[in-house]
A and B are shown apart, each in its own frame.
Chain A
Amino acid sequence: MKLWYSFIKEVKLASRGFYFYIELFMALLLLLILIFVVPENFESRQSEYIHLDLPKTVKKAYIKEIKDKDLDGKVEKVEIENDDKVINSRLYKTEDKEIYIIDDKKDVIKLADKKQKIGAVIKLDNKNNLDYEYYLQGYESNRLKNLILIIHNVGTDTIKTVFNKQDVRPLSTDYEVLTDRENLIPSFLTFNGSLMGLFIIAAYIFLDKQEGVIKAYAVTASTVREYLLSKVGVLLLTTIVSSFIIVVPVMGLKPNYLLLLVFLFTTGFFASSLGLLVASFYKNIMQAFGTIYLLMIAMIIPNIAYFIPSWNPTLIKILPTYPMLEGFKEIIKESGDVSYILTISLVFLIIGLILFEIANKRYKKTLTV
C-alpha cells in the first residue's frame, strides 16, 4: 500500500512538473509528423530535367518513347517555380523516374542547380547519333557516373541479355514489408518511449535531492525500494501512454498490443533502472549531464543500423537499443516473431532487475548524503 501511495504522490508531483509533459508533448509531435509530414512511402522516383535540342521528327520520336513508358500514358503540364520565375514543362512519370521536358536549355541548368537534381540536354552529334550532355551536382559517386556512361555506350539489348543471365534466388519469401511510415515507429518508441525514461527519472531524483525530501522519506516506515519503484512506476506510465499515442492512430488494430505492453514495460523498466543507477553517482543534474549525454549518444548508434541495414557491426548489437528497435519492429508487424519479443523482454527484465537492485543498494548508502 505504501508503494501505491508513493506512486500516487509521484503521479501528482509529475503532473505538476515540466518533465511529465515533455514525453507526452513529444509523442503528440511525433504523431503529427508521422501523419502529416511523413508519406506512407517515401518517393523513390528520381527527377530529371531534360531539354531536347533535337530536330522536330527525332524529338517527336524521343517523346513518344518516353510517353510509352509513362505510367498512365498521359503527359502532364506543370509549372515549376524557380527563383521567382515560373518555368513551363511537361512531366512524364515512369516507374523509376519523373522526367520534366523543358523548352529552354538555360532553365534546365538552373533547375538542376537549384533543385539539386540531374539535368540533361539531348542533341544530335555530327554522325546524327544522340548526344547526352549531363549536368550533375559534382558529389555523385563514380558508380553513378559510370552507370550513365554505360547506359549510353552499351546497347540496351546487351544490358537486357546480361540481366536475363543473372539467377536471383531470394533466401526467404516469408517476410512482411512495413511502409516507410510504419518503419519509423520503432525508432520513435525506442527513443521517446523507453530511452527518455533514462533521462527523466534521473531528473526526478535530482529534483528530490534538491528539495531534501529524500531525507524526510528516509525517516519514515517506508523503504528506499518503495521510493525508487514509485518513480519507476511513473516513468512506465508515461512511457506506455506516450507510446500508445504514437502507435494506435498510425497502426490501428494491426499490432499485438498485449505484447507491446509487455515490451514497453520491460524496456522501460530497464531504462529507468539504468537512469536510477547513473543518478546515484551524482549530486545534481549538472554533474550527471555528461554521462547521461554520452549514454544517450551511444544508444542512438543502433538507429543508424536500423535505417541502413547493410551497416550492422557486431559491436552495436550489444547496445540495448538494438534489440529494442528490432523488438518494436517485430511487434508492429502482423507476422512478428513472438518468441523473439518475449525472449528479449525477459532479458531486459532480468538486466533491469539487476540494475535496480544495484541502484537500490547504492541509494541506501548515498540517498541521504
Chain B
Amino acid sequence: MITVKNLYHSYNKDDNFAVKDVSFEVKNGEIFGFLGPSGAGKSTTQGILTGLLKLQKGNVSVAGYDVKEIKQKMFNKIGMSFEQSNVYSKLTAKENLEFYRKLFDVETYKPEELLNLVGLEGKENIKAGEFSKGMKHRLTFARSMINNPELWFLDEPTTGLDPAIASQIKDIIKQKNANGVTIFLTTHNMFIADELCDRVAFIVDGEIKLIDSPKNLKLQYGDNLIDVEYINNGETIIETYSTVLEKDKKSLKNIIENYEIQTMHTKEATLEEIFIKVTGRELI
C-alpha cells in the first residue's frame, strides 16, 4: 500500500536533512506504527506521503499513486486525521462533515453515523468553535473516515483524549483494520503502538533505526524478568530477577524455598524500554 525508497527531505534545501535515506513498506491491511520523539522526522515523512510536502528526493508510492505527481483523485482512497484539530469553527459538526463528504468522488458516510461512532451524537448542530479540545479532536478523527479510506493516516489519534474516549477510538481503529483498512499510525505513545500495531518503525534524527513487529522486538531486545514480593522477618520485600542470568535464577530459587511468597509476576520489557535501548533516546 505504501512503498518508500531512499527518501530525503530538507526544509532549507541544503544538506541539513529532516529525513534521510528512509525506506520502508507498508503492506495491505496492516497497522504500521511510525514511532519517534518530537522532531524525529515523523511528520515530515507523513507530510510527503500525504502530498502536504513536496517530494524532493527518493521514490514514494501511496495507494498505487506515485507521489511525485500527486493526483487529487488519490485522496478518494486516503483518510487523514491530524494531531491538531482543524475543523471550521464557524460551521456545526454536521456542516463540517457534510461539506467534506462532497469533496470526494466515492461513496461517503452520513455525518450522523460518524458523529455517533465517535460519541458526538446530539452535538450535530453545535458549532465546532464551541466544542472542547477533545470533542474537536474527535470531529477531526471522524472527518478522516468520511470517504471510507483504504489507507488511513492517523497522527497521534488519542492525544488529549480521556481514557474512555481514547479506548473508544482504539476500538474504531481495530474495527477498521479488521475490515481491511491499512493504517499508518504516527505517534510517540508506545503503549498505543504496542496495542495496535502489526509492525513499528523507530525513527530518530530523520533516520529509521529498525522496523519489526512489537512481539519480535520484545523477543529480540527485551529481557524476561520476574517481580517477586515476599516476607522476610515480617517485612515485605519486592525484588526483580532475570529468568536468564544464572545468579538471578539461584536467588529466585532460594526465595521460593525459604520465604513466604506474596506475589510473583513475569514482566515483559515495554516498547518504550526497547526504543530507549535501541536508539539511546527518550520518547519526548
Residues of A within 8 A of B (CB): 1-2, 5-6, 9, 12-13, 16-17, 211-213, 215-223, 365, 368-369
Tell me if B191 is interfacial: C-beta within 8 Å of chain A. no
Q: Contact string, B110-144, partner A, CB cutoff 8 A, digits 1/0?
A: 00000000000000000000000000000010010
Q: How far is the CB of A177 from chain B (nearest CB, A)?
A: 48
Alpha-carbon separation in the docked complex, A348 to B91 (Å): 34
User: Are A216 and B82 touching (Cβ within 8 A)?
Assistant: yes
CB<8 Å pairs between A and B, sample of 23: A2-B102, A5-B102, A5-B103, A9-B88, A12-B91, A12-B95, A13-B91, A17-B90, A211-B86, A212-B82, A212-B86, A213-B87, A213-B88, A215-B86, A216-B82, A216-B87, A218-B52, A219-B52, A219-B78, A219-B80, A220-B104, A221-B103, A368-B52
Q: How far is the CB of B69 from chain A (nearest CB, A)?
A: 12
Which chain A residue lies CB-closest to B80? A219
Beyond contacts A216-B100, A221-B73, A222-B72: 8 other A-B pairs, Cβ-Cβ < 8 A, are: A2-B103, A12-B95, A211-B87, A211-B89, A216-B140, A219-B52, A221-B75, A223-B72
Residue from B87, B88, B89, B106 with most neighbouring chain A CB atoms (10 Å): B88
Q: Are the CB atoms of A221 and B105 closer together than 8 Å?
A: yes
Per-residue CB contact flags for chain B residues 31-48 toward chain A (1 = under 8 Å, else 0) read 000000000000000010
Interface of B is mostly: loop
Partner of B51, one of A1, A5, A212, A218: A218
Is there an interface contact between A219 and B51, defined as CB atoms closer than 8 Å?
yes
Within 8 A of A (CB), among B211-245: none
Complex: how many Å from CA A217 to CA B88? 11
Residue of B nearest to A13 (CB): B90
A220 touches B82 (CB 8 A): no
The chain A residue sitting closest to B95, CB to CB, is A12
Does B84 count as interface, using CB distance less than 8 angstroms? yes
Q: Which 8 A-B pairs have the closest CB atoms?
A: A212-B86, A220-B103, A222-B103, A5-B102, A16-B90, A368-B52, A219-B80, A221-B75
Contact residues on B (Cβ < 8 Å of other chain), bracket = 20 to 34
Q: Are B50 and A219 in contact (CB under 8 A)?
A: yes
* Chain B residues within 8 Å of A221, by CB: 72-73, 75-76, 103-106, 147
- Output the residue of A13, A218, A219 with the most chain B CB within 10 A: A219
Whose C-beta in chain B lies nearest to the C-beta of A216?
Answer: B86
* Interchain CB contact under 8 A, B102 and A1: yes
Residues of the B chain whose Cβ atoms lie less than 8 Å from the Cβ of A2: 102-103
Interfacial residues of chain B within 48-105, with CB under 8 A of chain A in the complex? 50-54, 72-73, 75-76, 78, 80, 82, 84-91, 95, 99-100, 102-105
A-chain residues with CB within 8 Å of residue B52 when the two chains form the complex: 215, 218-219, 368
On whether the beta carbons of B84 and A212 are closer than 8 Å, the reply is: yes
* A residues in contact with B104, CB < 8 Å: 220-221
Cα of A212 to Cα of B53 in the assembled complex, Å: 15
A223 to B51, CA, bound (A): 12
Distance in Å from the Cβ of A227 to the closest Cβ of chain B?
10
With a cutoff of 8 Å between Cβ atoms, the chain B residues found around residue A16 in the complex are 90
CB-CB < 8 A to B47: which residues of A? 368
- For B47, the closest partner residue in chain A by CB is A368
Assess whether A365 is in contact with B54, with CB atoms less than 8 Å apart: yes
Task: Write out the residue numbers on chain A whose beta carbons fall within 8 Å of the beta carbon of B53.
Answer: 368-369
Task: Kindly provide the distance from the CB of A135 to the nearest chain B CB, expressed in whole angstroms.
Answer: 62
Report whether B99 and A9 are in contact in the complex, using a CB–CB cutoff of 8 Å.
yes
List, in ascending order, chain A residues with CB within 8 A of B106's CB: 221
Give the residues in chain B near A369, CB-CB below 8 Å. 53
A369 to B18, CA, bound (A): 15
Q: Which residues of B contact A215 (CB under 8 A)?
A: 52, 82, 86
The distance in angstroms between the C-alpha atoms of A278 and B86, with both chains bound, is 24
Max chain A C-beta neighbours (<10 A), residue from B73, B102, B104: B102
The chain B residue sitting closest to A365, CB to CB, is: B54
**Which of chain B's residues has its CB closest to A212's CB?**
B86
Contact with A along B135-159 (1 / 0, CB 8 A): 0000010010001000000000000
